Amino acid sequence: MNVRMSTLVAAVAAALLAPAMAAEPVGVAARGGYPEYLFLEKAPRDEAKATAEKLARAVIAGRMIIFAYAKKLTDPAIGDKGFTGEFFLEQWRNSLQGELLDATPSQKRILEKLFWAGKQVIDNNQDRLNVKGIAWKHFLPAKWEREMGQVFTARTGIIIKQPGRAYRSPVNVPDELERSAMQKYIDAGRDEMRPQTAFTTMGKQAVYRHMEPIRLLDPCLPCHGKPKGEPDMLGFEKDGLETGDLIGLMSVTVAVE
């Protein structure tokens, strides 16, 4: 074979191989996973709905407490804010007395693990919270929820996350069901608050999914409002949304027995 021939053969071989290699995409989600035994806490099937709703309400209550302290937490004149895990937990627990009253033993155990995770994340952020001289230290209800969700999921297998319409943290990337739920809320308009739910599976594990809308309030607009694309105080581009618009979902996935 002369040089020209061998170049031709190599070119043909490369052309034949190229589509096979291109068919294997890089940087995509692996398939499979979710072995049933990693869903450590499983709700009885008839309790799953109430368990997911309780968790969603508890997380929203935690968000609201952090939100209520936003002024103090972003005051550059204060160093030690006194917003410790213990301080937070006491208020969080108090705000949820009603939820605890009618909780089943399984729900009580799960809520205790949620409290544990939420407190731990506040403790973990003390150095950040207590920085003096800077207003916005990237400590927000959404960040607490993201970190708390990861700690809680690691311990229980129950997934709590807040997929975003245009997410800032890659942890908040919506899955297929969450993406379609968000679209439905956007199509339905601002008054639609009813949760979207489903009994489905994750791997072979039967799960109950609860998704409800997170809508914007006036104080959210400096970051998620208008004008779209202009940087907010943390440097993210604003979403260009208005009060009442959907910004994301409170999404809870509970394994069922």
Binding site for ligand HEC (CB under 6 A): 67, 136, 140, 142-143, 146, 162, 164, 167-169, 172, 214, 216-217, 219-220, 222-224, 232-234, 236, 247-248
Report d(CA 189, CA 176) in Å as an integer.
20
In the complex, the smallest distance separating the C-beta of residue 167 from ligand HEC, rounded to whole angstroms, is 4
Instruction: Name which of 211 and 254 has its Cβ closer to ligand HEC.
Output: 211
Min dist. Cβ of residue 100 to ligand HEC (A): 25
147 phi, psi to nearest 5 deg:
-70, -40
| Residue 171 vs 206, nearer CB to ligand HEC | 171
| Minimum gap (Å) between residue 239 Cβ and ligand HEC | 8
Report, in Å, the least distance between residue 161 CB and ligand HEC.
Answer: 9
**3-state percent helix, strand, coil for the chain, nearest multiple of 5:** 50, 15, 35
Dist CA 143 CA 163 (whole Å): 12
Contact between 59 and 114 under an 8 Å Cβ cutoff? The reply is: yes
Distance in Å, CB of 226 to ligand HEC, minimum:
13
Q: Which residues contact 239 (CB under 8 A, 6 or more apart)?
A: 165, 166, 223, 224, 225, 228, 247
Shortest CB 60 distance to ligand HEC, Å:
10
If the CB atoms of residues 48 and 129 are measured against ligand HEC, the closer one turns out to be 129
Beta-carbon contacts of 8 under 8 Å, excluding residues fewer than 6 positions away, are none
Kindly tell me which of 14 and 234 has the beta carbon lying closer to ligand HEC: 234
Q: Tokens representing 27?
A: 């940087």
* Closest CB to ligand HEC among residues 157, 248: 248
Nearer to ligand HEC, 169 or 200 (CB): 169
Running DSSP on this structure, what letter comes out for residue 190? Answer: T
- Measured in degrees and rounded to the nearest 5, phi and psi for residue 254 equal -115, 130
DSSP single-letter state for residue 194: P
